[in-house]
Structure 1
Amino acid sequence: RGGAPSSRGSGAGDAHNPREFIGAMDRCPPLDLFTDRDQHDSQEFLRMLLDNLNDELNTVVRPPPYKEEKDDFEEAEWDKAERLWATYKARTDSVMVDVFAGQLRSSVECHACGVASTSYDPFWDLSLPLKLSRAGGGANAGAGGGGG
């Protein structure tokens, strides 16, 4: 269908013309990269959209200067996670962070000496594999699960 949205609301059968949305992207660098009408990765688009919205809504006026964080092996993991999240929020704080951002914990252990190192990194999206469904769901159920 296409054309103007229905006055009934946005029910399952309503169609919406993306012309206004695409026009807004034309005026919003770097989202204007997507207006060439070529095929693009939806994850890349979502990430750039979230970045732009976060930049516009960031309430931090003067972020503190960057300083290298030293690994304190005596610090409790929970305390380290909270400290690093507070450091991140001191630089970027918006409703977008509250809704979409998170903190990923990853650990690496040296097999030679047994020392483990844990890092905490902010993320805005995670690429997760989808389990292929054998029963029902059609030919494309679960396809393309690894992407990124």
Structure 2
Amino acid sequence: MLVNENKNPLFFVSGSSFNLYDLLTKFCQHHNIPKAPFLLRNLGLDNEKWFKLNTDKYKKAYIEEILQMYPDLSFILIGDSGQKDPEIYTSLCEKYPNQIKAIYIRHVGDQARLDEINALGQQISADFLVMNHSKEAIKHLKNKNWGVDSILK
């Protein structure tokens, strides 16, 4: 866990398996993304792993555990529209409205999916941004003055 003075911890929760860990850490290094723990799936053949627990439930459970572990912190959830990140994040926002500050979704689908996502965003109180590029999220963060300048060097 990464905890710096006056900064919230950063977590990477992914449905990817642990065998992608090296690739993910190299990607983060290459793009100057701060170090943080990766909460990845332990794929296997038993009932508690790959074949039984779908990615949606896995991600939601891990994120919910983090929210419960840090009830006094607020979070920004970042994902994409390719799977169910918007649905997972908005349901968590409804359950933990005081902890979810914003949801950022990188759009990777068609217009119908974009319409679905925008409708979800209108149902929550947190800031909801659908973006084509991470630069839009950075601009939003800076406009909100959420103290991210030291992270976004």
Coarse TM-score class (shorter-chain normalised): under 0.3
Tell me which protein shows more helix as a share of its residues.
Answer: 2
Q: What TM-score does the superposition give when structure 2 sets the normalisation length?
A: 0.24
- Larger strand share, 1 or 2: 2
Q: TM-score, normalised by structure 1?
A: 0.24
Greater Rg, structure 1 or structure 2? 1
